[in-house]
Structure 1
Amino acid sequence: MASGTVVLTKASPTVSLDKHGVTSGLIRVNLNWTSPRAAAQREVQQARGVFGKVRAVLRAGAVKDVDLDLGCMIRFTDGSKTVVQALGNAFGATGRFPYVALDADDRTGARAAGENLVIDLDHQAAFSKLLLFVYIYEGAGDFRGLDAVVTLTSDRGDRFEVRLDDCPPHAHACAIALIKRQKGELVVGREVRWFTPQDGPGIQDVISRAYRLGMKWTPGSK
């Protein structure tokens, strides 16, 4: 059983899954973030005095839930491409194409388990690149204060963590990490590349073009 967590940082941004013995089975990608509404409610409980309580209640009433969406753009070795995400109900599947699945759509950040993508490494030979990304669907102007963390966990318990830090103002999307084959090994590379509305409309298209994934997009809803 593996122990400890490997944190991918600017100084040490890559890790080889092969070197950690993670070459098969399922790997879970978890996104968790601080719910502003839950944080505001905690402030209400901790507030002292009548006026302090009233101010905390008023602040809590003005706070919106934040809906972050975790997704994965996938390019396969045969040249085909797809995306797994809540938008358009493209939840995917493991054990069959595209071998990646999203378990749920956490619309508030209050769900203890957050959002989870599962990647089936038994089919890793089919993958050329997997780009993990997240964007704000609604409820916030950027990621500041959300304390978003993405953790990849293998069946054995190996843990690899990416913190979505250093968020610039108005950043409403982030390319989290790129998983690809490098010198014969499957490598996870920290990206934490932020995107703002100035980068253009249609955030999935913007991210896809930035990474030259060559995907075509149509409007979707959830």
Structure 2
Amino acid sequence: MGFTDFFDGLRGARASQFQSGSASSNAIELTKRHPTISLTKQGAVHGNLRVNLSWRMRTSDFGGSSGAGGQRLRHPFKLFKPDMVQAHTQGVVNVDLDLGCLYELTDGTRGVVQPLGKLLGDINDPPYVKLSGDDRFGSASGETLYVNLDHADEIKRLLVFVYIYDQTPAFDRTHALVTLYPIAGPRIEISLDERQPQARSCAVVSLEKVKGELVVRREVKFVYGFQAELDRLYGWGLQWGRGYKTTKA
């Protein structure tokens, strides 16, 4: 059993169908030297923005045998399926990364969308952010958030983050990738390749209006705590409590 922080607020969500545009096959990677891109300039401030989290293990951490590599080449989707790894102080565990999003709307409403507490959001009503579900231990598709940019004028800022549980050495053992798929233009990639063995959460990317443009900014700020520490770092001001999620047997 692991624990992390959950937001003590409204938890309603209704089922929705999601669609996002077919982004270009090209990709732009946001880096420390080039951390921002304007969605406004590429005509992508409409439709549903898809934000996907996927991850794979660092092969150097568990042998990386040629046989395993060959199987991954024959089955490329396995690149993004978490493997069983050895925890530092206990037996074999699965890596469980979760995707979440802090939001602030122009009317002052603030909150979080995340699997914990089933705060899955809503795509057609505030906060116009919806989580597709909790991919507990990985799949080829990973976890996905949708942002309804047809309501971009009602969104002040968003902060997409990734968090883990205290018993899983995930950021030290994984290559994680967050990819944004706008309705137009190339997809946008942010890699989480830094080895951070003690970090439990990471602010990955923000979306905010800057001089009338909707700008995507690479953050990649690791913290040792959970969502409440990210909140303090970015000044969201929410009330947090300790939440639990039971792992699969």
TM-score range, shorter chain: 0.7 to 0.9
Letter in 2 for 1:164: L
| Number of the residue aligned with 2:80 | none
Aligned to 1:213: 236
User: Matches of 2:24 and 2:137 in 1, distance apart?
Assistant: 32
1:92-103 matches, cutoff 5 A: 92-103=121-132
In structure 1, what is the equivalent of residue 31 of structure 2?
9
For 1:60 and 1:196, the matched residues in 2 are separated by 21
User: Aligned runs of 1:1-222 on 2, under 5 Å?
Assistant: 2-35=24-57, 46=68, 63-109=92-138, 111-137=139-165, 139-156=167-184, 158-197=186-225, 203-222=226-245
- Given residue 85 of structure 1, which amino acid in structure 2 is its aligned partner? Q
- Cα drift, residue 104 of structure 1: 1.6
User: How high is the TM-score relative to the length of structure 1?
Assistant: 0.83
Computing the radius of gyration from Cα coordinates, the structure with the larger value is 1
What value does the CA root-mean-square deviation take over the aligned residues? Answer: 2.6
Separation in structure 2 between the aligned mates of residue 3 and residue 44 of structure 1, nearest angstrom:
29
C-alpha separation between the residues in 2 aligned to 1:72 and 1:210?
14
Write out per-residue CA displacement over residues 13-46 of structure 1, whole angstroms, 9 at most, x where no aligned residue. Answer: 0000011111100011000011579x96985954
Inter-partner Cα distance in structure 2 for 1:133 and 1:3: 25
- Are residues 86 and 60 of structure 1, via their aligned partners in 2, closer, same or farther at CA, if it must alter by over 3 Å? closer
Of Structure 1 and Structure 2, the greater strand share is in: 2
Task: Measure the CA separation in 2 of the matches of 1:217 and 1:2.
Answer: 39
Tell me the distance in 1 between the aligned counterparts of 2:208 and 2:43.
16
CA contact (8 A) 1:178 1:191 kept: yes
Q: 1 or 2, which has the higher helix percentage?
A: 1
Seq. identity, %: 42
SS in 2 for 1:161: strand
Residue 106 of structure 1: CA displacement?
Answer: 1.3
Compared CA separation, residues 127 and 169, structure 1 to 2 (3 A)? same
Secondary structure of 2:228 counterpart: helix
Task: State which drifts further: 98-107 or 152-161.
Answer: 152-161
Gaps of 5+ in 1: 48-58, 198-202
Which is bigger in relative contact order (C-alpha 8 A, separation at least 6)? 2
What is the deviation of 1:147? 0.3
Distance in structure 1 (CA, Å) of the matches to 2:85 and 2:202: 27
Q: How many residues align?
A: 204
Q: TM-score scaled by structure 2?
A: 0.74
Q: Matches of 1:211 and 1:105 in 2, distance apart?
A: 24
Task: Please tell me the residue identity of whatever aligns with 2:40.
Answer: D
